[in-house]
C-alpha cells in the first residue's frame, strides 16, 4: 500500500467504530451517531460535524482537532501504517507497540492553573494534588495549560498520558490521550504490586474525585490500585487484572450512573462474575458530580 492509499484509507476510516474502540460514548440517532458529552458533535461513517464549533471533516481531520494529533500521527492511528515521504520496504519486524516519548511534552513548573482548575472547578483536595505532583503523577503542560496524567506500566516506565484541558470552549474541555500512548494501559494511582482490589474509573478526574471523597470520610484505600480507563475500555480491565493483579485480585467497577456504564458492568460481569460494583449515588452521574454535590457515599 503506497502513501496515497494509506491517506485515503485513513480519511475513509469508520469513525464511530474507531471511537467506540477508544471508549468514547456515542448515541445512535438514525443513521448517525452523536457524542454523549458534546450534543452538537455528530458522526457519519467517515465524517464528523461539530456545529457548535463550525467544524466538519473526515476521520483524519477529527483526530487532529479532537485529540491534538498531527497529520502523520492520525494516519498511523487510523491505519496502523506510518506515512512517509518515500515509502520504505515493509519490515518483517513488528512495529514497537508504543511510540510515546514523555520528554516530548513541554512541561511547565508553574502549576497554578492546573491546581486551580482541579481545586476550584473540580473540588479535588489540594493536598492530594500536591502529593501527586511530588510523586510525578500529575504535570502541567505549557502552551496548552492541559493537566497531564502520566501512565506508568508495570516496570514504572511512562508509556502514555491522559490529558484534560483547563480551558473551556463552548462549555466543553479537551480530553484525550497523548499520541503514541500504549493501548491497554491507563492512568493509575495506588498499590502497584499485587493489589487486593483494582478499581476502574471512566476518567482521571473521576478517580481523583473518588480519592477526595474517601479522604473526607477517612476511609483508607490500602491494597487498592485505582485506574482510569479514559472511557469504557474492557481491554484495560483485562490488562490490569492480568499484569498488575493476581488470582486473588478483585475488580471494582466504579463507572458512571448511566446507560453506557450499566451496559459495561453487565459485560464485565459475564467475564468476571466476582467483580464488585461501586457507582456514585443514584442522584449523581459520576464521581465528580457527587464530590461537587457534597454528598456522602
Last residue of one domain, picked from the residues 22, 45, 79: 79
The pLDDT assigned to 3 comes to 72
Contact present, 114 and 138 (Cβ < 8 Å): yes
What end-to-end distance do the CA atoms of the chain give, in Å?
55
| CATH number of the domain residue 27 falls in | 3.90.580.10
pLDDT tens readout for residues 254-286: 999 988 888 889 989 998 999 999 999 989 999
- Give yes or no: residues 75 and 216 share one domain: no
Residue 107: other Cβ atoms inside 10 A: 13
CA atoms within 13 A on the CB side of 42: 10
Tally of domains in the chain: 2
The pLDDT assigned to 53 comes to 66
- Give yes or no: residues 226 and 114 share one domain: yes
The pLDDT assigned to 54 comes to 67
Using CA atoms, how far apart are residues 16 and 62, in angstroms rounded to an integer? 11
- Give yes or no: residues 114 and 259 share one domain: yes
98 in a domain, yes or no? no
86 in a domain, yes or no? no
- Give yes or no: residues 122 and 175 share one domain: yes
- Give yes or no: residues 44 and 115 share one domain: no
- Give yes or no: residues 191 and 243 share one domain: yes
**Under-70 pLDDT residues of the chain:** 1-2, 52-54, 68, 80-99, 168-174, 295-297
Residue 12 belongs to what domain range? 3-79
Using CA atoms, how far apart are residues 56 and 43, in angstroms rounded to an integer? 10
The pLDDT assigned to 79 comes to 79
The pLDDT assigned to 99 comes to 66
- Give yes or no: residues 66 and 210 share one domain: no
- Give yes or no: residues 209 and 264 share one domain: yes
Q: In what order do the strands lie in the sheet with 276-277?
A: 188-190, 224-228, 197-201, 250-253, 276-277
The pLDDT assigned to 265 comes to 92
150 in a domain, yes or no? yes
The pLDDT assigned to 260 comes to 84
Site of grid cell 497523548: 178
Last residue of one domain, picked from the residues 79, 96, 121: 79
Amino acid at each position: 500500500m503506497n502513501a496515497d492509499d494509506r491517506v485515503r484509507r485513513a480519511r475513509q476510516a469508520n469513525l464511530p467504530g474507531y471511537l467506540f474502540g477508544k471508549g468514547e460514548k456515542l448515541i445512535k440517532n438514525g443513521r448517525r451517531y452523536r457524542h454523549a458529552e458534546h450534543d452538537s458533535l455528530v458522526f457519519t461513517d467517515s465524517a464528523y460535524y461539530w456545529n457548535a464549533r463550525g467544524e466538519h471533516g473526515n476521520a483524519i481531520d477529527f483526530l487532529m482537532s479532537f485529540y491534538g494529533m498531527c497529520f502523520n500521527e492520525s494516519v498511523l492511528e487510523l491505519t496502523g501504517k506510518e506515512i512517509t515521504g518515500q515509502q520504505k520496504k515493509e519490515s518483517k519486524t513488528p512495529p514497537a507497540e508504543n511510540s510515546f516519548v514523555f520528554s516530548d511534552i513541554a512541561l511547565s513548573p508553574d502549576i497554578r492553573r492546573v491546581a486551580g482548575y482541579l481545586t476550584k472547578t473540580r473540588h479535588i483536595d489540594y493536598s492530594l494534588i500536591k502529593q501527586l505532583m511530588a510523586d510525578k503523577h500529575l504535570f502541567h503542560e505549557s502552551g496548552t495549560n492541559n493537566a497531564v496524567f502520566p501512565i506508568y506500566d508495570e516496570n514504572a516506565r511512562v508509556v502514555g498520558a491522559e490529558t484534560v484541558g483547563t480551558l473551556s470552549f463552548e462549555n466543553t474541555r479537551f480530553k484525550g490521550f497523548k499520541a503514541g500512548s500504549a493501548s491497554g494501559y491507563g492512568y493509575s494511582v495506588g498499590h502497584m504490586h499485587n493489589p487486593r482490589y483494582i478499581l476502574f474509573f471512566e476518567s482521571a478526574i473521576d478517580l481523583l474525585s473518588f480519592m477526595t471523597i474517601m479522604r473526607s470520610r477517612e476511609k483508607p484505600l490500602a491494597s487498592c490500585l485505582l485506574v482510569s480507563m479514559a472511557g469504557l475500555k474492557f481491554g484495560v480491565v483485562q490488562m490490569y487484572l492480568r499484569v498488575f493483579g493476581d488470582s486473588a485480585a478483585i475488580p471494582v467497577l466504579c463507572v458512571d450512573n448511566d446507560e453506557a456504564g450499566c451496559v459495561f458492568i453487565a459485560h464485565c460481569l459475564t467475564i468476571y462474575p466476582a467483580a464488585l460494583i461501586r457507582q456514585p449515588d443514584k442522584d449523581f452521574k459520576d464521581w465528580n458530580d457527587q464530590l461537587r454535590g457534597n454528598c456522602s457515599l
